[in-house]
Amino acid sequence: MARNREELPNNKEAEKAVLGAMLIAPEAVVDGLGSLIAEEFYEGNYANRAVFKAMRQLQDKHIPIDVQTVTEELINSKELDSIGGTEYLLELSQSAISLSNLEFYIKIIKDQAIIRNLLMAMREIDNTFQNEEIEDISDFVTQAELKIRKVTEKRRISNFIASDELADRVRESINLQTKQVSEDGVTGINTGYTGLNHYTHGFQRDNLIIMAARPGVGKTALALNIAFNASLKSNIPVAIFSLEMSADSLAKRLVANRACVDLDHITTGYLNKSERLSIEEAINAISRSTIFIDDTPGIKLYDIVAKSRKLKATQGDLGLVIVDYIGLITSSNKKFESRQQEVSEISRSLKDLARELKVPVIAISQLSREVEKRENKRPQLSDLRESGSIEQDADLVLLLYRQDYYENIGAKVASKKMGRYPTDETPRDGKSKEEQKRELDASLPGDASTVEVIIAKNRNGKTGKIPLHFFKSYGRFDNPTKEYEEALAKIESQSDGDM
């Protein structure tokens, strides 16, 4: 039988069956009010929706639900006559189904409501298309997709997960991680950095990772290093959304990084034979990776989401998403009272993207200038610029600190002439730990310096800090040598009285 086009999908008999059961069985009241909302009863079946609302009102007043109490509630709200009087309530009670079938009929009501909402969303989309000028087709498609997603997400919200099912999920997850864990304890995406992997066990799928520093400290360089390491070591596609730098510029940085050739030499073309050979090897290595760069200026948030979904669909997987940087993203056409509110929506959406695609998302962020006003310039969570809910949404927050960014270490003379790291025999002369660290840093080769990666928040593990060596001329981050780590550990182990 064909449905009247003006009538949206509904099942009046299922609604009556559930309401009837609720009128005569307290157990049905618990299931009905716990599973359904008034809006899931079809608006065209006005009487059924009104009866359910009356039942909800009685529950809120802690009054038992039966034909008599519902009648009185409908009298008080002046709706008894409009639903068909007491006769309709008696008709409902005669339509009651057994408790064993109640869940099935509740599902019918909910499914019909989902279909109605979906159809209404589609009609709204069609109406916009037919009657409004579409200036940005990408925006229109994304907004349409969001309307439909809101409908489907409602289905998930109302369902609890029983403890036995949850236990099975945890068991399955642990078994899977046991199979996947590598010798160095990495269960997520391999960052390529021993210390970072130690604290995080690799970047976990569905995590939002905030990487923040002042401009010029090296956050984009570190993100690029991690992208390349992840692509090769974990053999996964990586998406990079670069709002600040062109794809060509990023590609040159990758080449300089892999070839260990000064970026200036690559930019100017002044290369010797050895450098050309190193660059060719680096280009071959990069071509074997699966890194995808989108350098659309001022890219909208919904484009990042849509393109990430598409890339995962076309590649079969997506291992890592990097957004550089969060402060340049435009969220939507919606007006916000402040930039902080807009950034909050952006961070929330990036977190949702990580959970939806089961992929770690690295969002690069700037630190506020407040950090430079303090004597101790090591960044803190409170230094996140326009933070909004960034700290709350993030699973992992990495703050980068580079001592030579804030002060001139001077010529690397004393330690460099020694050609070795300070040892127990190196005079301390009552120097502070920071001074000793500066001397240790000065002993690094070339223009290298130490970047402290401060793990300021780790939802699933410990916080702490790790040193990485940053070679500025070619934007490369390396694990510190064993000799350096031993020298640093000796400095850190000193008590104040030893200095």
**Which residue of the set 72, 244, 391, 435 is catalytic?**
244
DSSP state of 381: G
Amino acid at 129: F
Pair 450, 481: CB distance under 8 Å: no
Amino acid at 116: R
Q: How many CB atoms lie within 10 A of CB 41?
A: 25
Give the 3-state secondary structure of 144-210: HHHHHHHHHHHHHHCCCCCHHHHHHHHHHHHHHHHHHCCCCCCCCECCCCHHHHHHHCCECCCCEEE
Alpha helices in 191-337 (DSSP H): 194-200, 219-233, 247-259, 263-268, 273-288, 301-315
The H or E element containing residue 323 is strand 320-324
Q: Using CA atoms, how far apart are residues 228 and 499, in angstroms rounded to an integer?
A: 42
Q: How many CB atoms lie within 10 A of CB 27?
A: 11
Pair 327, 386: CB distance under 8 Å: yes
Q: Using CA atoms, how far apart are residues 85 and 426, in angstroms rounded to an integer?
A: 97
Q: Using CA atoms, how far apart are residues 473 and 257, in angstroms rounded to an integer?
A: 9
Number of H helices, E strands in the chain: 22, 9
Angle at 397 between CA 440 and CA 153, to 5 degrees: 160
DSSP state letters, 386-433 = T-TTHHHH-SEEEEEEEHHHHS------HHHHHTS---TTS--TT--H
CA nearest 378: which of 389, 370, 386, 390?
370
Q: Using CA atoms, how far apart are residues 385 and 369, in angstroms rounded to an integer?
A: 9
Pair 54, 70: CB distance under 8 Å: yes
Q: Is 275 a catalytic residue?
A: no
3-state secondary structure of 434: helix
Q: Using CA atoms, how far apart are residues 283 and 322, in angstroms rounded to an integer?
A: 21
Strand partners, 210: 363, 397
Q: What is the dihedral of CA 348, 349, 352, 357, to 10 degrees?
A: -150
What tokens appear for 91 in the block? 């008709």
Q: Using CA atoms, how far apart are residues 231 and 190, in angstroms rounded to an integer?
A: 9
Catalytic residues: 244
